[in-house]
Amino acid sequence: MNEERTRFLQEFKQYAVSGFPWPLRASLYQPLSNMFRHIAHYNSRGFWTAWFSTPKNQAQWLHRVQNWNCYGDPQYCWCDVESALKDWVQHSGIQEMVSARITPAKRPRVLIICDQGLVQDIISEVELDITLVDLDVDNDAQDLELNGKRVDADIRHPGCECDTKKVEEILKSIE
C-alpha cells in the first residue's frame, strides 16, 4: 500500500473514532465516494448526511463495510484500502462504540397523574432528592433526576385527583 493510501487510512480511523464529525474533508470524501460502490451524493455534505450524520447512519455504513467483498486490483482501484478498512471495522471496536450511541441506557419510567401546575408542588412534598430537569411541552413528558439518576416521567392531568402519597410510592419503587 502506498503512502497516500496509508495516510488516508490513518486519517479515516481518527475521523471515525472522533464520531464522524462535520465537515468531511476532501481528503476523506474523494476516496470514500469511490469505494464500497458508493455514489458521490452530489457533494461531501450529501455524502456525510447520508452516511455519517447520525449514529444509525454510521452503523449502516459500518455494516456495509463489514459485509463488503473486496474485488479488484490495487493497481487500478483502492480495493487494498477497502480490505484494510473492512478488517479495521471488524476488529477495532468501532461498531460497538457507534452502537452504544444508538441505544441509550434505559431509564426507569414514572407515570404521574396530576394537574400540570401541581407537579412541582407534589415533587417538592416527596421526601426524596428529586429535581425537574427538562420539560417537553408537546407530549407532557418531564425528565426528573431522582437521587442522581435520570428518570422519565409522563405527566397526565385529566382533572387532577392526584394523591401525593401515591406519587411518593411510585417514586420510591424505582429507587
pLDDT of 90-132, one tens digit each?
Answer: 999 999 999 888 865 554 444 444 444 444 444 444 444 444 4
**Global pTM exceeds 0.75:** no
Residues 120 and 84 in one domain: no
Measured CA to CA in angstroms, residue 68 lies from 12, 13, 151 at distances of 17, 18, 41
Count of domains for the chain: 2
Residue in this structure with the C-alpha cell 428529586, named with its chain if needed:
130
More confident residue, 137 or 77: 77
- Which of 108, 110, 122 has its CA nearest to residue 163? 122
Would you state the pLDDT for residue 169?
A: 60
Residues 38 and 117 in one domain: no
% the chain with pLDDT above 90: 48
Domain boundary among 47, 82, 102: 102
